[in-house]
Structure 1
Amino acid sequence: MTPQPSFISDPAQRLVELLQARPTQRTIVGLVGLPGSGKSTIATQLANAVNAQLGAGSMLALGMDGFHLSRAVLAQMPDPAAALARRGAPWTFDAAGLAQRLRELRAAPLTAGAPAVPWPEFEHSAGDPVENAVWVPPSTRLVLVEGLYLLHREHGWNLDGLFDTCWYLDVPMDVALQRLVARHQAAWGFSVAQAEARVALNDQLNAETVLHSRERADGLVQSVPLQA
């Protein structure tokens, strides 16, 4: 029987310890969670806590959403309409591109004056990723990457060895899906029924895929209530 990961009592302090244990190297941490689990919020909170203790810029939180395949790439797939409808599924990301960028982050020299490493972000107003949206300077020795599929091992995903540790944000499925319904209502003006239908046709399928990767995590991060 596969041993289950245990909860990390103080994840911010654990991050500080990881950074201090590798003073001349960059530490890269993954944070996985269901859609709607609050990954980006928790990642930002952790970065703020670490930087408050070790100095501004010591840690940077990044997301994997910048590795979404563009609409132009999805349009070249055998069924473009289905590809767009399932955007957010594992096969609608550039997993190989993410792996390469993680390697670049790890290999980059941390000496003063060394070049920064670019990182893409997803621009919601444009509906597509934007290259070089963020630059990781050599002074940033701890990078946390949050995303859905960092522990996934199908559809071209395999990031083994690219994180020093990878955690799972443990939020119940029903809580995460309720947040997604509210998010779709706020973002798109959907009715409750429309938002629930969208969640059922895409988000819940993705959430079930993410949940199956939970046991691969090195530790669990406790969920906290989020602002509506």
Structure 2
Amino acid sequence: MTSLDINRSYEQSADVRAALEKIQAYATKSHRTLIGLTGGPGSGKSTLADYLIDYFSKQKNTSVICLSMDGFHLSKAQLRALPNDDEAFARRGAPWTFDSLGFIERVKKIKQGYRQEDIFWPSFDHALGDPIEDDLSITKDTKVILIEGLYLLHQQDGWHEARRLFDEHWFLDIPVEIAIERLAKRHMQAWNFSHQQAMDRINQSDGLNARLVATYKEQADWLIRV
């Protein structure tokens, strides 16, 4: 599916239109609003977040930013320092391979920083495979902040405080089988894998994470279906 096809599908989606309306309404409030967007690997979280931010970048008087929790991956050096480093590399992307406490502390700063101070946020360099600290800036006047990630509703591995920091939680409700097939196609394109090779890789990590994340959806305030 091309980016043009994706944009058309979003434009035709009642749930995406509702998301735009919700964000627009929050942008008129006198306080800062934090929205969590959860979904499994391959569900389309990043693509939807990109669409939302592109839409609002063209609107006047709407201060919105979309962030990813990917910048809180433990670095390769941190993974190597773990006693189970081989398992950590094999399972990179599991909830315990992120800096959950660092994520929570940064979100707290964002929550408290409205009209007080600009806050920096890490990104993730996929070419290097490591986070880039303080790569993004959230200005003190930003009204609506959407953060997308796998484990915003996770209740273990140090993530349990994250849930209460958000004003609203959205869950991108895509069947796990569809998300996994998307991942397989990505792997086939990126590494010239056969479908079986892609599935073997997915079943070692992303597939496990996808099935775990799917158990969170009943905790969300709103299920988005595209």
Q: Which has the higher helix share?
A: 2
**Percent identical across equivalent pairs?**
41
Q: 1:95 to 1:30 in 2, by over 3 A?
A: same
Distance (Å, rounded) in 2 between the aligned partners of 1:151 and 1:19: 24
Pairing 1:11-26 to 2, within 5 Å after superposition? 11-20=19-28, 22-23=29-30, 25-26=31-32
Query: In the alignment, residue 77 of structure 2 is paired with which amino acid?
Result: A
- Verify: 1:174 aligned to 2:177, yes or no: yes
Of the three residues 116, 133, 136, the one matched with 2:138 is 136
Tell me the matched-pair count: 211
Q: Which residue of 1 aligns with 2:148?
A: 146
Residues 8, 220 of structure 1: 8 Å contact kept: no
- Verify: 1:76 aligned to 2:68, yes or no: no
Other structure's SS at 1:152 match? coil
- Aligned-pair distance for 1:190? 2.0
Residues 114, 141 of structure 2: 8 Å contact kept: no
Other structure's SS at 1:140 match? coil
Q: Which residue of 2 aligns with 1:4?
A: none
Residues 114, 142 of structure 2: 8 Å contact kept: no
- Verify: 1:49 aligned to 2:55, yes or no: yes
Pairing 1:188-203 to 2, within 5 Å after superposition? 188-203=191-206
Query: In the alignment, residue 50 of structure 2 is paired with which amino acid?
Result: T
- Aligned-pair distance for 1:54? 4.1
Distance (Å, rounded) in 2 between the aligned partners of 1:28 and 1:11: 13
Q: Which residue of 1 aligns with 2:166?
A: 163
CA offset digits 1:143-175 (Å, max 9, x no partner): 100000101101111113210101000111111
Other structure's SS at 1:10 match? helix
Farther off after superposition, 30-39 or 75-84 = 75-84
Q: Which residue of 2 aligns with 1:3?
A: none
Of the three residues 31, 37, 40, the one matched with 1:31 is 37
